[in-house]
Amino acid sequence: MTEEDIRKWRTYAKVSPPLRDKKNMESVKTGIVKDIISCISSDHSPHDTDSKRLPFELASSGIIGFESLLPLTLKLMKEKKLPITKLVELLSYNPSKILNLNVGTLKKGKPADIVVFDPYKSIRLSSELIKSKSNNYPYDNLNAKGKVMLKFSNANAKIEALKNDAELSEYLTDKRKVYSLDLLSGYSCPFAEACLSKAVAQPNGKRKIQDGHKTQFRCFSASQEVQYNGVYNLRKHNFDSLRKLSTNEMITLINDSLPKNAGIVRIHVAGDFFNLDYMRAWYSVALANPNTLFYAYTKSLRYWHDINEMPTLHNFVLTASYGGRDDWRIDEYDMRFAKVVYSEQEAQDLGLAIDHDDTHAAKPSLRNQSFALMLHGTQPKGSTAADALKVLKRDKVRHSYSRKVVKV
């Protein structure tokens, strides 16, 4: 933008220092190309409508810049034929280096505070998409590129075993693969109780586990998020990207981010359906992608009950996960469920087959059959779950991920 844009946007383009002419703007760009300028930042300055809709000399200075920073910088990179690594330096690495922050790099041992985006994906900047409480935005209806995307993860050892099942392998022809979409454990699980655990950031930059007051066994995914920076930040990126969107916005983002070769998708190795709109979004994504199988465990049973009022989809398979605040709905509405057990004998007493590799959870043909899940992961010292895990290990009972076929 230059001072000429003030004629169009008036006080919405009032900033301090003020906008300059085109010659000055080109000088700034030259400074970036020649490494005279080493950082680009956004003086994100939201103002309420009343403080901007005043005579020019009385109006507040500042515009919303945070949400347009990436696409506008990408536009500059393309214009000046600069590599994407230059963008990373200007927006992330150099600022963190100047401020002596332990971020801004993907080196081993460093915090992986990441944003996943597609630099070639077209977007239209619009005040309607702004999530700020303010709306002083002078880039309305500007075409740009650089869409923030969700990150689908490759299958872990457990769900990778799905390809060995005859029924499920039909979804994996033509080099199609198994993926998962994960969110932060605990934070995205509004109805969890028995397995409620969170990775909580500490002042020293590390994280530790925080269990709920009714936690019986620790969430394996939360333990991962404490241990691995990349895992934590990737799931946080996904959760932050979704949680404030409308249903239609979530549908668009999930569909745009879904790998083209996705044959089977586990919705949440970590996380859960954090609101009804989000579950409806996944239902709509499954409806739009009939050749891809989507399956999930969930404790958000009141949302599932709402979804049950909609037509059943052959490729959208849900399992109620015991251990939440809405467990009573499982019997009330005859929901297919999975229950964590501490021993093979407990599963036998309940009359449940043990699903070691998600084949039972994913198969559409078994959508009405409940099953057990063997306790696994890292459990709190001295807890009943920890004692049970010791017995499983001592007796060499199968309780961890496996690539073997499990017949049910």
Task: State the Cα–Cα distance between residues 253 and 265, nearest whole angstrom.
Answer: 15
pLDDT for position 155: 76
Of 88, 313, 293, the closest CA to residue 179 belongs to 293
Q: How confident is the model at residue 52 (pLDDT cuts 50, 70, 90)?
A: confident
Mean pLDDT (the chain) is 85
pLDDT for position 71: 86
Report the run of H or E that residue 199 belongs to, with start and end: strand 197-201
> CATH 3.20.20.140 in the chain, residues?
3-148
pLDDT for position 315: 95
CATH number of 3-148: 3.20.20.140
CA distances (Å), origin 339, targets 328, 355, 361: 14, 10, 12
Of 236, 199, 205, the closest CA to residue 220 belongs to 199
Task: State the Cα–Cα distance between residues 60 and 52, nearest whole angstrom.
Answer: 6
DSSP state of 74: H
Sequence-ordered list of residues with C-beta below 8 angstroms from that of 343, at least 6 positions apart, any chain: 388, 391, 392, 397
Q: How confident is the model at residue 399 (pLDDT cuts 50, 70, 90)?
A: low
pLDDT for position 381: 76
Give the bridge partners for 161, in sequence order.
none
Asked whether the beta carbons of 123 and 130 are under 8 A apart, the reply is: no
Report the run of H or E that residue 231 belongs to, with start and end: helix 229-242
Region 24-30 average pLDDT: 90
Q: Which pTM value belongs to this model?
A: 0.77
pLDDT for position 408: 29
Task: State the Cα–Cα distance between residues 352 and 354, nearest whole angstrom.
Answer: 6
CA distances (Å), origin 350, targets 215, 318, 368: 22, 21, 16
| pLDDT surpassing 50 at residue 396 | yes
Instruction: Give CA torsion, residues 219, 225, 227, 230, to 10 deg.
Output: 150
pLDDT for position 404: 39
Strands 152-154 and 177-181, how do they pair? antiparallel
Angle CA 295–363–239, to nearest 5: 10
Lowest mean pLDDT among 60-69, 145-154, 345-354, 388-397: 388-397
